[in-house]
């Protein structure tokens, strides 16, 4: 595949406006992603031409796109951005860009004009972010990225690999991008509010005091200042809880949405105080970059990013810390997760949520109006790491430098292992434990590449890290006795899913949304063919099943080896649902079933012949 090299000096000015050359390159990449992912979601079907790896997409508008690309095992086409040509009968052929592409594919996308405008705005924001990412990443090798801190590496990642609008960020303008987006690298202070205890719903883990939590976000002098401000406003920690909020959220949401509470002094604005924070790729989980603290802070941020508005719902807050403790105890009590392998739980040790006085009277308002003010303190992984260990978000593995080399190639080279041995470790330490959580305990994490991380020890996969339990953790809808130790009030609040649905947290979340891109990268850079990749994966899962005959019935119930699996379509869901507000978060659309590579490469399946 042709590498897209961006020849910008490494210290290029972040605020130099839009560079035409970089813009053209990132637009080609975006169109390549749209061609690949929308074909995969069956929004349109490109035709394979007799010339090897040459494709032609003929759109209803009569416009055609010609490109080169390799069809991968999951049926997706790995499109070469540099090869894309737009063919039109008039003389409008011109440059390749995502906005023109959407206009060309308008009938296939089939959105109303109003929705289409929102979609284009998401693509504009994504383009601006990708332009900055290209500047940030110019000339930075995988070797340099391997040495970076976790938060620095995260800032360079592409975002959701399936969503063409991966950085939609509806609600943010230029100043917000520069002040708060990870690719701009700006660190910022949190705004602190005092919220009447009467309207704050809060919970924290045993042994934690509220003061301990906010002290993690500032030094003693700042803490004193904050308390001084509280006293000046005639309040105390007896009457009011100290709650951090994102500065954008204060300006754009809380200061107006909570006007009733502000008018009655149930919410008091204190100030922007304390340490500086950097945003993770989720934009609203923040890492303290002034000091090595124990917790990351996740905050409500009511912007539309990928599939929903990123608020914090109140219903999980009372159970979050106890659910985290239950998970940690579950791991400690299970030798497979704590001794044979090592699963690390990033506990959510505290959280609070404030229901909005105005909106709470009407429960079925769109969900975002109930989620505007919330905070969760989540453990940082650093304290759990040993010598020569680092944590890597799974989505980093397929991230490539500007020469097209993926990070996984760098890690494998540094480990001294061959690709097969390294991937065996990855599957044993990450995939198999995720499956074990589900089969042994009935617990399943939405395992996309931003929720799941891997610990590398001496560059070799050594442990699984799970996080994000408020909305991204499901329980099986069967009476697994292992779930009985989970207190009833927690069980009630967590989604219960049928076996054939919950298995998607692994099949769609981990296989299709993470491994599909990793196996594309390992094949493209000549490390390992996809057929070998999935043969290996099938083999590790079967080995695990052989070692656990007592779980046989569960393996039948939660089967990863079915010939077909549903095709879950993220982009198409937006085309179908549009942007109208709803009281529920959108759910993905489903297309024609996919061929399951695990079925094809499973050497134990005699029934195939
Ligand atoms: N590789 C990725 N896969 C899935 N989501 C991603 C990825 N990279 C960035 N994201 C973003 O992460 C956000 C989801 O994380 P969120 O639940 O908000 O926070 P957290 O996981 O820190 O609790 C979405 O806005 C999504 O766009
Ligand atoms: Mg998440």
Domain count, the chain: 3
The reply to whether 406 and 514 lie within a common domain is yes
CATH code assigned at 120: 3.30.310.280
Among protein residues, the one with the nearest Cα to ligand 1's atom 14 is 282
The pLDDT tens digits of the residues spanning 152-163 come to: 999 999 999 999
Q: Which residues line the pocket of ligand 1, CB cutoff 6 A?
A: 159-161, 280-282, 284-285, 298, 305-306, 310, 395, 448-451, 468
Nearest to 433 by CA among 336, 549, 335: 336
pLDDT at 7: 40
- Is residue 608 a part of any domain in this protein? no
Window from 81-95, 306-320, 414-428 with minimum mean pLDDT: 81-95
Please, which pLDDT band fits residue 3 given cuts at 50, 70 and 90?
A: very low
Measured between its terminal Cα atoms, the distance across the chain in Å is 36
Kindly give the distance from the C-alpha atom of residue 283 to the centroid of ligand 1, in angstroms, as a whole number. 8
The neighbouring-strand residues paired with 48 are: 55
Q: What is the pLDDT of residues 232-248, one digit of tens each?
A: 999 999 999 999 999 99
Q: Whose CA is nearest to atom 8 of ligand 1?
A: 159
Q: Are residues 369 and 449 in the same domain?
A: no
Q: What CA–CA distances, in Å, run from 546 to 198, 221, 465, 551? A: 54, 58, 25, 9
Same domain, 290 and 193: yes
> In 3-state terms, what secondary structure has residue 232?
helix
Q: Which atom of ligand 1 is nearest to the CA of 162?
A: 3
Q: Which of 2-11, 55-64, 483-492 has the lowest mean pLDDT?
A: 2-11
Out of 377, 450, 453, 585, mutate this one to test ligand 1's pocket (max ligand atoms within 8 Å of CB): namely 450
Please give the mean pLDDT across all residues of the chain.
94
Per-residue pLDDT, averaged over 7-36, amounts to 79
Same domain, 409 and 550: yes
- What pLDDT does residue 608 have? 54
For residue 536, name the pLDDT band (cuts at 50, 70, 90): very high
Find the ligand nearest to 303 CA. 1
Residues 95 and 128 in one domain: yes
- pLDDT confidence of 555, banded at 50, 70, 90? very high
pLDDT score recorded for residue 363:
85
In a domain, 8, yes or no: no
* Three-state DSSP state, 524: helix
pLDDT at 1 over 60: no
pLDDT at residue 14, as a whole number: 47
pLDDT at 215: 80
Ligand 2 centroid to Cα of residue 176, in Å, is 21
Question: Which atom of ligand 1 is closest in space to residue 280's alpha carbon?
Answer: 22
- Counting atoms of ligand 1 from 1, which one is nearest the CA of 166? 27
Provide the β-strand partners of residue 476: 497
Residue 287 lies in a domain: yes
Q: What is the mean pLDDT of residues 180-192?
A: 97
Q: Is residue 144 part of a domain?
A: yes
| pLDDT score, position 93 | 75
Mutate to test the pocket of ligand 1, among 159, 379, 391, 466 (most ligand atoms within 8 A of CB): 159
Residues 427 and 566 in one domain: yes
Best substitution site from 161, 281, 397, 407 to test ligand 1's pocket, by max atoms within 8 Å of Cβ? 281
Query: What's the pLDDT score for residue 2?
Result: 35
* Residue 247 CB neighbour total at 10 angstroms: 17
Domain membership of residue 168 (yes or no) is no
Q: Ligand 1 center to residue 282 CA distance, Å? A: 4
Please give the structure tokens belonging to residue 429.
Answer: 């330490």
User: CA 513, CA 588: separation in Å to the nearest integer?
Assistant: 13
pLDDT, position 128: 97
Which of the four pLDDT bands, split at 50, 70 and 90, describes residue 10?
A: very low
**Domain identity same for 440 and 566:** yes
Give the pLDDT confidence score for residue 245 in this predicted structure.
Answer: 98
Q: How far apart are CA 120 and CA 140, in angstroms?
A: 30
Q: Is the pLDDT of residue 188 over 80?
A: yes
For the segment 594-601, the average pLDDT, to the nearest whole number, is 96
What does the alpha-carbon distance between residue 451 and residue 447 come to, in Å, rounded to a whole number?
6
From 381, 412, 447, the end of a domain falls on: 381
Question: Within this chain, do residues 544 and 419 fall inside the same structural domain, yes or no?
Answer: yes
pLDDT tens across 418-450, in order? 999 999 999 999 999 999 999 999 999 999 999
- What pLDDT shows up at residue 459? 98
Å from CA of 597 to ligand 2 middle: 26
d(Cα 215, Cα 232) in Å, to the nearest integer? Answer: 20
Structure confidence by residue, pLDDT tens digits, 477-519 = 999 999 999 999 999 999 999 999 999 999 999 999 999 999 9
In a domain, 166, yes or no: no
Residues 181 and 267 grouped into a single domain: yes
Q: Which of 412, 447, 365, 608 is nearest to 528 (CA)?
A: 412
Rounded CA-CA distance 529/507 in Å is: 20
In this prediction, residues 313-322 reach a mean pLDDT of 97
Residue 332 CB contacts under 8 Å (≥ 6 apart), including other chains:
338
Which phi and psi angles does 468 have, rounded to 5°? 75, 80
Same domain? For 373 and 397 the reply is no
Ligand 1: which residue has its CA nearest to atom 15?
282
Side-chain-facing half-sphere of 122: CA atoms under 13 Å: 24
For residues 81 and 193, membership in a common domain is answered with no
- By CB atoms closer than 10 A (0-12, 13-18, 19+), residue 62 is exposed
Residue 162 lies in a domain: no
Give the structural domain span for 429: 389-600
Domain C-terminal end among 84, 113, 148:
148
pLDDT for residue 605: 67
pLDDT in tens, 558-585: 999 999 999 999 999 999 999 998 888 8
Residue 15 inside a domain? The answer is no
Neighbours of ion ligand 2 (CB under 5 A): 451, 468
* Main-chain dihedrals φ then ψ at residue 88, nearest 5 degrees: -130, 150
- Burial tier of 335 (Cβ tally within 10 Å: 0-12, 13-18, 19+): exposed
Question: Beta partners for 57?
Answer: 65
Same domain for 210 and 243: yes
CATH number of the domain where residue 470 is located: 1.10.510.40
The mean per-residue pLDDT over the stretch 196-208 comes to 93
Name the closest-CA residue to atom 9, ligand 1. 159
For 558-562, the CB contacts below 8 A with 24+ separation are: 558/435, 558/438, 558/439, 558/476, 558/499, 558/502, 558/503, 559/503, 560/435, 560/503, 560/506, 560/507, 560/596, 560/598, 561/596, 561/598, 561/599, 561/602, 561/605, 562/596, 562/599
**How far is 397 from 270, CA to CA, in rounded Å?**
42
**Class of residue 463 by CB neighbours under 10 A (exposed 0-12, middle 13-18, buried 19+):** buried
Task: Please say whether the beta carbons of 194 and 242 come within 8 A.
Answer: yes
Q: What percent of the chain has pLDDT over 70?
A: 97
Which of 381, 406, 434 is the last residue before a domain boundary?
381
């Amino acid at each position: 595949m042709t590498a897209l090299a961006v020849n910008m000096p490494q210290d290029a000015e972040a605020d130099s406006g839009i560079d035409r050359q970089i813009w053209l390159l990132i637009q080609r990449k975006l169109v390549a992603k749209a061609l690949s992912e929308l074909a995969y979601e069956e929004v349109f079907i490109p035709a394979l031409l007799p010339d090897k790896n040459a494709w032609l997409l003929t759109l209803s508008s009569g416009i055609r796109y010609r490109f080169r690309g390799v069809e991968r095992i999951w049926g997706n086409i790995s499109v070469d951005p540099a090869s894309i040509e737009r063919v039109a009968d008039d003389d409008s052929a011109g440059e390749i860009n995502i906005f023109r592409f959407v206009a060309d594919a308008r009938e296939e996308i089939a959105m109303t004009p109003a929705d289409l405008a929102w979609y284009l705005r998401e693509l504009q924001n994504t383009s601006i972010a990708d332009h900055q990412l290209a500047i940030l990443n110019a000339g930075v090798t995988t070797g340099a990225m391997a040495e970076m801190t976790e938060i620095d590496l995260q800032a360079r990642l592409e975002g959701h690999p399936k969503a063409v609008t991966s950085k939609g960020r509806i609600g943010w303008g230029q100043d917000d991008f520069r002040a708060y987006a990870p690719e701009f690298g700006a660190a910022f202070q949190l705004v602190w509010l005092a919220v009447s205890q009467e309207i704050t719903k809060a919970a924290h883990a045993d042994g934690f005091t509220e003061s301990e939590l906010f002290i993690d976000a500032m030094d003693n002098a700042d803490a004193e200042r904050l308390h001084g401000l509280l006293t000046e406003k005639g309040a105390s920690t007896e009457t009011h809880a100290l709650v951090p909020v994102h500065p954008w959220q204060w300006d754009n949401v809380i200061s107006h949405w909570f006007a009733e509470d502000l008018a009655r002094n149930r919410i008091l604005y204190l100030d922007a105080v304390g340490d500086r924070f950097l945003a993770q790729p989720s934009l609203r989980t923040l890492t303290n970059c002034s000091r090595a603290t124990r917790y990351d802070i996740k905050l409500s941020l009511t912007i539309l990013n990928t599939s929903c508005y990123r608020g914090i719902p109140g219903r999980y807050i009372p159970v979050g810390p106890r659910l985290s403790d239950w998970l940690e105890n579950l791991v400690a009590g299970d030798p497979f997760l704590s001794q044979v392998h090592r699963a690390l739980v990033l506990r959510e040790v505290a959280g609070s949520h404030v229901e909005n006085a105005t909106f709470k009277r009407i429960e079925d308002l769109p969900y975002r109006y109930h989620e505007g003010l919330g905070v969760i303190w989540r453990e940082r992984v650093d304290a759990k790491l040993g010598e020569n260990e680092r944590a890597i978000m799974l989505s980093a593995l397929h991230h490539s430098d500007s020469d097209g080399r993926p990070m996984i190639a760098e890690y494998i080279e540094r480990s001294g292992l061959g690709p097969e041995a390294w991937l065996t470790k990855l599957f044993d330490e990450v995939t198999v434990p995720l499956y074990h959580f589900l089969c042994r305990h009935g617990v399943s994490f939405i395992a996309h590449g931003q929720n799941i991380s891997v610990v590398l020890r001496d560059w070799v996969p050594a442990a699984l890290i799970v996080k994000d339990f408020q909305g991204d953790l499901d329980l099986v809808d069967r009476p697994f006795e292992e779930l009985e130790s989970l207190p009833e009030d927690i069980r009630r609040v967590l989604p219960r899913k049928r076996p054939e649905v919950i298995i998607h947290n692994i099949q769609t979340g981990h296989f299709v949304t993470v491994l599909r891109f990793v196996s594309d990268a390992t094949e493209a850079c000549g490390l390992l063919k996809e057929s070998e990749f999935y043969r290996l994966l099938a083999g590790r899962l079967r080995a695990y099943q052989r070692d656990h005959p007592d779980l046989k019935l569960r393996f039948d119930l939660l089967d990863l080896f079915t010939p077909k699996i549903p095709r879950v379509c993220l982009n198409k869901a937006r085309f179908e649902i549009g942007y109208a507000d709803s009281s529920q978060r959108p759910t993905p659309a489903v297309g024609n079933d996919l061929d399951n590579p695990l079925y094809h490469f499973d050497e134990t399946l005699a029934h195939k012949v």
